[in-house]
Amino acid sequence: MLITDLVSQPSSTVREVNHAIAQSSESDLPFYRKLGRTDLTVSCLGLGGGGGISSEDTLYAFERGINYFFYSSDLHHYLYSNMAGAIRQICGRGSSVREKVVLATVTYIKSPEMLLGALMDQFCELKIDYIDVLFWGWIGSNDGSVLNDCLNISQEVKGCNSVYQRTV
């Protein structure tokens, strides 16, 4: 059963979603909060596709004000792939609502040399130009040097005229 099966309302158009989110984002309700020390504002409830949530239900959540989404194209890709269409729609190139969404992704790669390839896979699959938050999974207490190497390469994969941007 889909979440949308429980509701008798028809699915909203992108224009209606844009209007609804604009109204919700201006609210004083504590539902929206700053994400740590960033300038990102997120819904207090986020949505990840690890449970196999469909694109239809992902869009339903977005229409109701959820703006924080988590996607994995590495280890659990099959479970997340059902929501890829919705991520493409709300975060993809040309989306009229992209600035209202915070997209987090993950990689479990521990090699800074392979990081660019992992990011390219995510960007190509989802047809996106950027992600807002990248999680590095599987960094443990014995991985200090690996984390340091990854942090040192991070300047090469973000921002204007970066290696990533020039490659794309």
Q: Determine the Cα–Cα distance for residues 81 and 73; give it in Å rounded to an integer.
A: 8
Least confident of 7-11, 92-96, 98-102, 156-160: 7-11
pTM above 0.75, yes or no: no
Q: Determine the Cα–Cα distance for residues 167 and 92; give it in Å rounded to an integer.
A: 18
- pLDDT confidence of residue 160: 66
Greatest pairwise CA separation for the chain in angstroms: 54
Q: pLDDT (tens digit, 9 = 90+) per residue, 128-157?
A: 999 999 888 777 788 788 777 776 766 666
- pLDDT confidence of residue 13: 53
- 92-96, 105-109, 132-136 — most confident range: 92-96
Compute CA distances 32 → 24, 45, 47, whole Å. 9, 9, 14
b (16+ CB within 10 A) / e for 29-68: eeebeeeeeeeeebbeeebbbeeebbbbbbbbbbbbbbbb
CA angle 48, 49, 52 (to 5 degrees): 150
- pLDDT confidence of residue 10: 45
Q: Please enumerate in sequence order all residues whose Cβ is within 8 A of that of 124, keeping only pairs 6 or more positions apart, or say none.
A: none
Q: Please enumerate in sequence order all residues whose Cβ is within 8 A of that of 52, keeping only pairs 6 or more positions apart, or say none.
A: 79, 82
